Amino acid sequence: MPTIFRPVKKQYKRTTETIKTNSLIHRHVYNTVSWRVLRIEKLKNSPLCECPSCKTAKIVILAHDVHHIIPISTAGDNVEKIKALGFAYDNLMSVSRDCHKKIHAELKEKIEYLNW
């Protein structure tokens, strides 16, 4: 068997901690009925993209996603904080799919993007 040299992939340093936080967020926020209801409610009340660049440019575009202004991941593994941030209506922003991608690219926050 030949030995294959594999370079160390630095980007996988995204630690077990991140993965843990991520799965807590999914378990306590995204995979709940309350989140589904809240997200629909938010999109119903604010059907247009509310991201700063659309607002500034007065672009009218339908929103499909709901973004958390303060990322839930900042709560770490504190479940109470995760729920508080996740379900805080004031922490929500209706965004179009493209704007959502842009926002997360800027935040370098890939985690929460797997949202719905």
Q: Which stretch binds Zn ion (CB under 5 A): 4-12, 28-36, 42-50, 82-90?
A: 42-50
Furthest CA-CA distance within the chain: 62
Residue closer to Zn ion by CB (options 14, 101) is: 101
Instruction: Please write down the long-range contacts of 48-53, taking CB distance under 8 Å and 24 or more positions apart.
Output: 48/94, 49/94, 49/95, 49/96, 49/99, 50/93, 50/94, 50/95, 51/93, 51/95, 51/96, 51/99, 51/100, 51/102, 51/103, 53/99, 53/102
85 binds Zn ion (CB under 5 A): no
Of 8-16, 20-28, 51-59, 77-85, the segment contacting Zn ion by CB under 5 A is: 51-59
Output the smallest distance, CB 62 to Zn ion, in A. 10
- Quick check: 42 binds Zn ion (CB under 5 A)? no
Place of tokens 């030949």: 2
Total residues interacting with Zn ion, rule: CB under 5 A: 5
Which C-beta is closer to Zn ion: that of 19 or that of 114?
114
Q: What are phi and psi of 107, to 5 degrees?
A: -75, -10
Q: Does position 111 bind Zn ion by CB under 5 A? A: no
- Contact positions vs Zn ion (CB under 5 A): 49, 51, 54, 67, 99
